[in-house]
Amino acid sequence: MARSIFAGGTDYRGQSIDDIKKDLIDTQDLLKKTVRLFEKDLEKLKELGKFKYMDFDFRASTYDLINFFKTSIDDIDLIIEGINNGLNNVHMNLLENMQRLSHEKNKHHRKMFRNYYNPEYRTLHFDIIEELYQEGGDVTASMFDLGNMVERLQQFIVDRRNEMSINITNNIDKVDNLQQNSGHATGYQYNQRCETQNDIDEIIYLLKDIAEKLDKENKEELLEYVEDFNEDLKSSTPRKSRIKSTWTSIKSKLTLESVANIATITTSIPNIIDMGEKIINQLA
């Protein structure tokens, strides 16, 4: 269907469910294309020897968008499956969550680019940076419409007492170990777990990036801690005591003078530590 020329301005209240499904598929295709473009551009920067000089905060925002787009691709799969087999309130929550996050990430990505000082303006290197900025802003803005679908799709929800629950066991490959022990989660719990998963993926990206800037010994030690941290967090039966112990080791490494003196990451270390503490606190 024809969408509004204004980001977030499309009115779906009078549209058919087939029109909405087509827009979801088109959005999913755009996200897949953008992920490929971002990964290709980042590889170009590495080939040019410019990746390590890329502004840390903007690079972190770019990797965060890649993760957000990949998660949204999987979420849209679940929504399309719901359209085909029966919608429920969890699907509505997913749409509203994507709309909310797209606003937040659009604003953040543009802010990080505005703060990006680079004397190599209009070089091939900076043209790639600008493409990451432009596409990131455009694609997140195109997702503003997703929440507008909810009012129309709610009309197709079957009225069942237990409709607020969704069995995500059969979709385990799509939701990356977000299941509860019972294999069921409410819409609220599902969204909370999705957000936690996004935080985990983001902090792993950032920690690995910091490790690449360290000397060989510190790099190898930090990467080992990070891998353990990642595996334990994504375990179907995470052990909080082990995770907290590994996180303590990571924090100790981050606060070493040799790490803190790396100018390109100093301002981001407190944010990374705050992010890690948030993840720890969210563990059951």
Note whether 148 and 91 are same-domain residues: yes
pLDDT at 210: 82
214-221: list long-range contacts, CB under 8 Å, 24+ apart. Answer: 214/258, 214/259, 214/262, 215/258, 218/253, 218/256, 218/258, 218/259, 221/253
Among candidates 87, 86, 62, 91, which has minimal Cα distance to 75? 91
Structural domain range at position 217: 195-284
Structure tokens at 89: 């309130």
The residue out of 161, 186, 219 marking a domain boundary is 161
Would 187 be classed as within a structural domain? no
Question: Which among 161, 181, 206 is the end of a domain?
Answer: 161
Question: Domain check: are 230 and 120 in the same one?
Answer: no
pLDDT at residue 120, rounded to an integer: 61
In a domain, 188, yes or no: no
Domain count, the chain: 2
Tens-digit pLDDT profile for the chain (284 aa)? 555 556 677 889 889 999 999 999 999 999 999 999 999 999 999 999 988 888 888 999 999 999 999 999 999 999 999 999 989 989 999 999 999 999 999 999 999 988 876 656 566 678 899 999 999 999 999 999 999 999 999 999 865 434 334 443 444 444 444 444 444 444 444 445 556 667 787 788 888 888 887 778 888 888 888 888 888 887 777 778 888 888 888 887 777 655 655 544 544 677 788 888 888 887 75
> 122 with 232, same domain?
no
Torsion of CA 193, 194, 198, 203, to 10 degrees: 10
Q: Are residues 116 and 232 in the same domain?
A: no
> What pLDDT is recorded for position 22?
95
Query: What are the structure tokens assigned to 40, written together?
Result: 């290709």
Q: Has residue 84 been placed in a domain?
A: yes
Q: 132-162, pLDDT tens digit by residue?
A: 999 999 999 999 999 999 999 999 986 543 4
Tokens of 279: 């993840």
236 and 135 within one domain: no
User: Does the predicted model carry a pTM greater than 0.75?
Assistant: no
Same domain for 85 and 150, yes or no, is yes
**C-alpha distances in Å from residue 275, one per residue of 66, 78, 165, 199, 268:** 18, 28, 29, 7, 11
Q: Among 117, 144, 161, where does a domain finish?
A: 161
Amino acid at site 181: N
pLDDT for residue 95: 95
4 located within any domain: no
- Non-local (6+) Cβ contacts of 194 within 8 A are 71, 75, 94, 97, 175, 178
Residues 152 and 23 grouped into a single domain: yes
> Is the same domain home to 157 and 230?
no
* 154 and 199 both lie in a single domain: no
Residue 175 domain-assigned (yes or no): no
- In this structure, are residues 143 and 100 in contact, taking their beta carbons and an 8 Å threshold? no
Q: What does the alpha-carbon distance between residue 129 and residue 59 come to, in Å, rounded to a whole number?
A: 9
Residue 9 maps to a domain: no
pLDDT digits (tens, 9 = 90+) for 222-244: 888 888 888 888 777 777 888 88
Which CA distances in Å does 234 have to 82, 197, 200, 229, 230? 26, 8, 9, 9, 6
Kind plus residue range of the DSSP H or E element containing 18: helix 17-47
39 & 109 share domain:
yes
Q: How many helices (H) and strands (E) does the chain have?
A: 12, 2
Are residues 44 and 141 located together in one domain of the fold? Answer: yes
